[in-house]
């Protein structure tokens, strides 16, 4: 079972929920936390009253209500200082401090094949919109034990209210299926990890946790172990070497290899056959 989670505290989240309900024939499900819920095949759509970031262990409550979720997807707004119109997906957890929910130094299980499929679907569904479609690096709460990712629209109030963007997200999620590709973790780069995003579009690879250069500088080296452990099926890693010092690259690659993860370069990855997002 997959669960899509909207928040009453988030305008974009509410708009995405309404777009999902308008685009398919959902049936009423047992309420969740006293709020209406809906079901479409193996997907349940719920709303929580509080902001997403600060409600830990939501998956436990979902398990009690509907059974254990195999995937949790949060519908959310995106905010950035650049104010670039963006549609994003990202894993969650805190490589170092917990400034926005969750637990310090703790990553939430990633959903690499689902999240990368969502990224590709977003690019396809938003082709006619003036939005950048991208990954974000692993960041913020809440804490869950189920595989989770956020899908977001932003970066200002104008974009949060954009129903075309909300519908693009809804269409991306309605028929989402996990990508059949080798699973990888990503290391290095900035917050929007453009190198990893481009590989996800062009190569046969699915990314789980994405630890940017700034997080690798702040966090203990063991966060790499956690990123691998909490990206189910991770067998590969791509390190954006240009954003790290030679000493950092050597240490990161040695640690990844000690975990049984193969460090790859772009040329090692097959092109995505018949990629309909291109």
Structure confidence at residue 274 (pLDDT): 65
- Report the alpha-carbon distance of residue 220 to residue 260 in Å, rounded: 19
Residue 244 counted as domain residue: yes
How many structural domains are present in the chain? 2
Domain of residue 263, CATH code: 3.40.50.10700
Instruction: Note whether 50 and 162 are same-domain residues.
Output: yes
Q: With a threshold of 0.85, does the pTM exceed it?
A: yes
pLDDT tens track for 208-263 = 999 999 999 999 999 999 999 999 999 999 999 999 999 999 999 999 999 999 99
Residue 273 counted as domain residue: no
**Nearest 5°: CA angle at 148, between 152 and 80?**
30
Q: Can you list the residues of the chain whose pLDDT is less than 70?
A: 274-278
Instruction: Note whether 29 and 108 are same-domain residues.
Output: yes
Instruction: Note whether 138 and 65 are same-domain residues.
Output: yes
Q: Tokens for 114, please give them.
A: 């689902």
The alpha carbon of 149 is separated from its chain's Cα centroid by a whole number of angstroms, namely: 3
Structure confidence at residue 25 (pLDDT): 98
Instruction: Note whether 120 and 219 are same-domain residues.
Output: no
pLDDT tens track for 22-39 = 999 999 999 999 999 999
| pLDDT more than 70, % of the chain | 98
Residue at which a domain ends, from 132, 157, 174: 174
Beta carbons of 178 and 113 less than 8 angstroms apart: yes
Structural domain range at position 229:
182-268
Q: How many CB atoms lie within 10 A of CB 196?
A: 26
Instruction: Note whether 36 and 163 are same-domain residues.
Output: yes
Structure confidence at residue 11 (pLDDT): 97
The alpha carbon of 173 is separated from its chain's Cα centroid by a whole number of angstroms, namely: 12
Q: Tokens for 138, please give them.
A: 């692993």
Residue 74's DSSP bridge partners are 5, 150
Beta carbons of 38 and 44 less than 8 angstroms apart: yes
CA distances from 132 to 5, 34, 216, 253 (A): 23, 36, 25, 30
Instruction: Note whether 22 and 127 are same-domain residues.
Output: yes
């Amino acid at each position: 079972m997959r669960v899509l989670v909207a928040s009453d505290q988030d305008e974009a989240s509410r708009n995405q929920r309404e777009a999902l309900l308008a685009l398919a024939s959902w049936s009423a499900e047992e309420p969740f936390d006293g709020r209406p819920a809906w079901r479409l095949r193996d997907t349940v759509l719920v709303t929580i009253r509080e902001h997403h970031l600060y409600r830990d262990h939501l998956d436990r409550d979902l398990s009690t209500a509907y059974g254990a979720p195999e995937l949790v997807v949060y519908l959310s707004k995106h905010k950035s200082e650049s104010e670039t119109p963006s549609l994003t997906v990202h894993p969650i957890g805190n490589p170092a401090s917990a400034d926005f929910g969750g637990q310090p130094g703790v990553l939430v299980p990633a959903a690499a094949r689902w999240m990368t499929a969502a990224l590709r679907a977003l690019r396809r569904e938003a082709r006619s919109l003036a939005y950048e479609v991208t990954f974000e690096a692993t960041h913020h709460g809440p804490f869950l034990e189920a595989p989770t990712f956020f899908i977001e629209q932003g970066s200002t109030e104008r974009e949060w209210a954009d129903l075309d963007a909300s519908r693009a997200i809804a269409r991306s999620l309605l028929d989402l299926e996990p990508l059949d590709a080798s699973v990888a973790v990503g290391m290095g780069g900035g917050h929007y990890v453009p190198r990893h995003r481009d590989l996800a579009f062009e190569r046969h690879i699915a990314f789980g946790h994405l630890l940017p250069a700034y997080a690798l500088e702040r966090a203990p080296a063991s966060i790499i172990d956690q990123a691998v452990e909490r990206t189910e099926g991770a067998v590969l890693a791509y390190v954006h070497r240009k954003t790290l010092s030679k000493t950092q690259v050597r240490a990161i690659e040695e640690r990844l290899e000690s975990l049984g993860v193969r460090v790859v370069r772009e040329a090692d990855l097959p092109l995505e056959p018949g990629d309909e997002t291109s």
